[in-house]
Structure 1
Amino acid sequence: MEQAQPLRYLFCGHGMTSNNEVPLLRFHGLDTLRAVAILVVMLYHLNMYSLLPAVLNPIASVGWVGVDLFFVLSGFLIGSQLLKPYLNGEVPSLKEFYARRAYRILPAYLAVLFLYLTVPSWREAPGLYAPWQYFTFTWNLFLLHYPEAHAFSHVWSLCVEEHFYLILPLLLLVFMRSPAVWKTVVLVLSIVLGGIALRAWVLYHVVLNPGVPDEMHGLLMMKFIYYPTYTRVDGLAIGVGLAILRTFRPSWWSRIARHGNLLLLCGVAAVVVALRLCNFDYPSPDLPASILFAFPALAVGFGLMVASAVCDGSILKRRVPGAAPLAVLAYSLYLTHKSVAHVTHRMLPVLTAQADWRSVCIYFVACLCAATLLYFAVERPFLRLRSRRSAKQKSAAVGSEVRLDPAI
């Protein structure tokens, strides 16, 4: 999940500068959206321990949508980064892209996975799947048991993102050989409509098959619809579509950007519609519309919010105190929050026994401390290593150009 500097800085897309480079700007709105996403996800998982005051329950019950917001953000940010070289007539380096993703994702992930594999008390649930499913990011594709009965089940969304990182650069290499607006529209619509059709087929031929007992419907929905990558790419597709529009149609984007607050209102409305389809709860086979249409509605709604976040004049673009640090820590929080909640609950049973604000504060302080430790001990050192590596490569490239210059 992209964060830190790439989250807070993104090329503008309003047109090219004199040296054919797109200027970098900081967008506080993206920090805000990412902070909101991780907070609602944490509230949703905290429900496992019944530690929430009643006033937070409505938010926690729909906190699962934070993952869909992460998907749209990732599609927009990663898509923007991959498209940037094309503005200069270049092709992005697959080797460099995958190396940067590895530096960004693997160190913290492997550190947390090591704890899951070697420290049973760290696990928020009794067992683990086979280690190879975690190392290969195929956990969400080969579910053998009910996922929530096993630890580190939230890794499914990271698996989806890893598959996205793997496929998108290859897809863009083919697509950019002959780019066209109509191709972009057709591609995004095909992905979204194809996702609806695929979920419909699985829902009615697998999940709700007449021979399946009623008590199995929820399990099969999670296994074959909610977690697999091939049924959850709506948000990623919308995010990439926004990145394409903003990168290659700056005049169109500038007209859209004049209505940042309207985009935000429309985005909120679309998210409310999606939640209404779910009866303001979790997607359920008993509500087929929640399976078929909630995910694309969320993708469109969050896509409008992301667009608003980078529009001048939008209230979402204003800086929100505390959002930037939460955005920076979001990946570490995502990896550790369920386990930290579990450990905190076991170590402080008396202090966390009541569903009150004290329990919530203890939980969040513990999660922030653990995430901060992971960030400074693992994440940031490897991000700095990645930056030094990139600087050396750029320096070597400049040196090579100088040596090959026939004027010297």
Structure 2
Amino acid sequence: MTDTAELGSDRPISGQPDFNAYQTTRRFSNLDGLRFICIAMVLWHHANPFPDSQTHIFGRGFLGVDFFFVLSGFLITTLLLRESKRYGRFSLRNFYLRRIIRIFPVYFFVVTLVGTYYVVIKGQTGLLGIWPFYYFFLSNFLTEHIPLLGITWSLSVEEQYYMIWPLVLLILPFRLLVPVCIVFVGLNVAIISGLFPFEPISLGPLLFKLPNATYAPIILGSLSAVVLHRQKGFEKLSGFAGGYYASAIGLLSIAALMVLAPYDLRGWPNLLIHIAMTYTLVALVVREKNILSGILTFPPVARFGVVSYGIYLYHLIALDVVNRISTGLFGGVDPWALLIVYSLLSYLIAEISFRTLEAYFTRFRPKTSGA
């Protein structure tokens, strides 16, 4: 949810999968549209018009965050591998600077704004003890949250991964990356499933344990990038994910699994969904001209995806505002109207933020280099 789709040099949208075209892609044209799908799922989740539905798919919009994880793992790993291939190594310093400039301004603004409102203005001083942990990206280990900041757990997962994964890429030989990713995913699923029970470690308001929202999807995104980075791997993956209809098959598979999976998704059910998400992502990047490309590259859809990071951070604020206004003026609002109005308000706030706060800091972003 926090990464751009820019990687190499420009090229037109291609038809058949081609490794050389893939390697020179600067911007994967379908990925902003995929971001739209991810953030739309999240927006639906927090204003679900069917909260009492017995159909599982209506209550699983939170999986949009998992899809964001797959996307983030793929883009970050692809960026680092290509930089390393071009210059002989990638710059760890520039990587972290790019992440800081991309993530911190809006994130810190929202954490400060919301924290100030509840702790200082509303006087909920009991929340003061947990407020600092948001600034250190530890919110996924908090046992309670400042209202409207619970969603920041996903940013904490990403930041923790970004701290470790580049070091793994620097230390390990390339040939070991695939087995290491597979082992990490397997361990993650096994621990989540309770096969290797670990006692959580409690430290004040923090409870250190593997969260229910697994790290597996972001690792799978990285794994797909590693495999696609070599021609042999690219040819194997594009062999079964490079068809014109493959992306639609991937999305339908995700939807089917969301319907058929048991209520408790932890463990293998979640892994199957994450694999389907990874397949869909691969299908969208190895063959950019596919059955979904017209929808995913449609300008309003793509623009929504471009500012999806801001939408994610601001959307609970927008939902709270719309709920308060509608309750005060009308005594409530139709669920569908609420979903539409708060989604549009989230976009508007994110667009303004993107053109002002984020644009200002983007000027200081270092260029990709091996320095």
Q: Give me the TM-score of the superposition, normalised by structure 1.
A: 0.75
CA displacement at 1:200 relative to structure 2 = 2.4
**How far did residue 123 of structure 1 move?**
11
Q: Contact (CA 8 Å) 1:239, 1:303: kept in 2 or not?
A: yes
Residue number among 247, 270, 283 corresponding to 1:308 in the alignment: 283
Per-residue deviation, 1:100: 0.5
Deviation at 1:254, TM superposition (A): 4.8
CA distance, structure 2, for counterparts of residue 73 and residue 382 of structure 1: 23
Matched, 1:23 2:16: no
Match of 2:293 among 317, 327, 347: 317
Residue of structure 1 equivalent to 2:84: 86
Letter in 2 for 1:344: V
Any unmatched runs of 5+ in structure 2?
A: 201-206
Look at both structures and tell me which one has the larger radius of gyration over its CA atoms: 1
> How far apart in 1 are the matches of 2:99 and 2:52?
40
More helix by share: 1
State whether structure 2 residue 367 is matched by structure 1 residue 390.
yes
- Find the counterpart in structure 1 of residue 222 from structure 2: 240
Whether the 8 Å contact between 1:274 and 1:297 is mirrored in structure 2 is no
> Is the 8 Å Cα contact of residues 3 and 327 (structure 1) preserved in structure 2?
no
Counterparts of residues 19-98 of structure 1 (less than 5 Å): 22-47=23-48, 60-88=58-86, 90-98=88-96
Tell me which moved more, 373-382 or 99-108.
Answer: 373-382
- In structure 1, distance between residues paired with 2:38 and 2:274: 13
Offset, 1:243: 0.6
Q: Which residue of 2 aligns with 1:191?
A: 184
Q: 1:204 to 1:355 in 2, by over 3 A?
A: farther
Aligned to 2:154: 157
- Aligned letter for 1:309? L
DSSP-derived class of the 2:47 partner: helix
Which of these residues, 176, 179, 183, is aligned with residue 174 of structure 2? Answer: 179
Query: In 1, Cα distance between the equivalents of 2:84 and 2:94?
Result: 15
**Are the structure 2 counterparts of residues 257 and 295 from structure 1 closer, same or farther at C-alpha, using a change threshold of 3 Å?**
closer
- Write the distance in 2 (CA, Å) between the matches of 1:347 and 1:202: 48
Cα deviations across residues 298-329 of structure 1 (Å, max 9, x unaligned)?
Answer: 21011011011123342133323422111111
- What is the root-mean-square deviation of aligned Cα atoms in Å? 3.6
The answer as to whether partners of 2:8 and 2:23 remain within 8 angstroms in 1 is no
Identical pairs, percent? 25
Shift of 1:106: 0.4
Identify the residue that residue 273 of structure 1 maps to in structure 2.
257
Counterparts in 2 of 1:84 and 1:8: CA distance versus 1, 3 Å = closer
Give 1:166 shift. Answer: 0.8
- Do the aligned partners of 2:241 and 2:279 also contact (CA within 8 Å) in 1? no
Secondary structure in 1 matching 2:245 = helix
In 2, the alpha carbon distance for the partners of 1:123 and 1:366 equals 24
Distance 2:120 2:57 in 1: 27
Q: How many residue pairs get matched?
A: 352
1:35 shift after superposition: 0.4
Cα shift at 1:204? 7.0
Residue 155 to residue 123, structure 1, CA distance change in 2 (3 Å):
farther
Counterpart check, 1:365 vs 2:364 = no
Structure 1 stretches lacking a partner, 5+ long = 208-221, 284-289, 398-408
What's the counterpart of residue 317 of structure 2?
339
Q: Distance in 2 between matches of 1:76 and 1:225?
A: 22
Q: Show CA shifts across 1:87-143 (max 9, x none).
A: 23511010000001000000111111111121239999x7746122101101112x2
